[in-house]
Amino acid sequence: MNLKLILLVAFVCYAGQSRAADITAEKLGSVLHFSIKGETICDYQMEPGDVPEGVNPIFKHGAHLHPVYSPSGKLVTGNHQSDHPWQRGIWLAWTKTEFGNSHPDFWNMGKTNAKNGASLPAEVRFLKLDQSWGGADGGGFISQHVFLDHSHTPDQKVLNETWEVQVSQKTLDGVLANIIDLTSTQTCATDKPLKLPKYHYGGLGVRGSEQWNPVDTVTMLTSEGHDRKAGDNTKAKWVHLGGQVDGTPTGLAVLIHPSNFRFPQPLRLNPKNPQICVAPSQDGDWPIDPGKPYISKYRLLIYDGKPDAKWIEAQWQSYTK
């Protein structure tokens, strides 16, 4: 291959997927804030943050991403909405579980005790921030969470979790996108497994913008071409969640890595609110066993405009390589 051809190939590759812009990572109290040129990309809520007025403080939780914005500054995540105040931006949790003779629900944290304000029966708690960074090649962090069962013994550890997150902004095949790469590694905290019976949700959760709360204002699309109704309880390589924000179409796509358990993974597309879940337990009972880490990887693309299935598929192909 001659020099001119080499340079041409290099230019085409660069033009299709440009170098990440400078990302700033700043710790602001209980929040790790990522921005580019002063514009927010996302926040990582470490310790529990505030809840909206009128929401029971029992739903103050950390260990999640919110707010998350598109490149034009459109808010695409919702947090502690009145219909499901335990849903919090982007998070990972399990719903129906068995731990010894206990059944901790890490998803609906506080739901069962919200009326009387009692303590949480189970929770996912932020432990520590190992490191964070920003720069020309993007930003990110590594942190530790713990899944706690309080139903029998206070602060009974069930799972330890590490989050490895990378944040960037790139032009991908002509579309400017904010990119969040999330890898979760969960390990048993004791010599007992966490058993996960068949259930229709639990896993990676995403709550969409408050402006998508009306049933007819949200759009969902899967890699198999299914919409919200047809795509619920189906499997997919990726799923889009979006709608109008301040009069402009915007949204996000969750790309599912092929190394994930039960790939292509089952989906829960909530019929009543703008919330999606990648839910491996839909396919039947399974455990997280001692000595066997459970690793799940996802890429979230946040962008302005209507969903383009061909573009999302091309980005999924690039992600898998």
258-313 confidence digits (pLDDT tens)? 999 999 999 999 999 999 999 999 999 999 999 999 999 999 999 999 999 999 99
Segment 142-197, tens digit of pLDDT: 999 999 999 888 899 999 999 999 999 999 999 999 999 999 999 999 999 999 99
Percent with pLDDT over 90 in the chain = 81
Residue 53 lies in a domain: yes
CATH of the domain at 244: 2.70.98
In this predicted structure, what is the pLDDT of residue 78? 94
Asked if the model's pLDDT at residue 248 lies above 50, the reply is yes
Answer yes or no: is 8 within a domain. no
Q: Is 233 a member of any domain?
A: yes
In a domain, 153, yes or no: yes
What global pTM score does this model have? 0.91
The tokens for 215 are 């049933």
Q: How far apart are CA 99 and CA 244, in angstroms?
A: 42
Q: How many CA atoms lie within 13 A of 43 on its CB side?
A: 22
Mean model confidence pLDDT for the chain: 91
Burial class (CB in 10 A: 0-12, 13-18, 19+), 29: exposed
Helix (H) or strand (E) holding 228: helix 228-231
Q: Are 60 and 48 in contact (CB under 8 A)?
A: yes
User: 162 in a domain, yes or no?
Assistant: yes
Could you tell me which residues are beta bridge partners of residue 182?
Answer: 165, 298
The reply to whether 16 falls in a domain is: no
Helix (H, G, I), strand (E, B) or coil at 156: strand
Tokens of 127: 């432990």
Residue 10 lies in a domain: no
User: Residue 7: inside a domain, yes or no?
Assistant: no
What percentage of the chain carries pLDDT values higher than 70? 91
> What is the number of structural domains in the chain?
1
Host domain of residue 207:
21-320
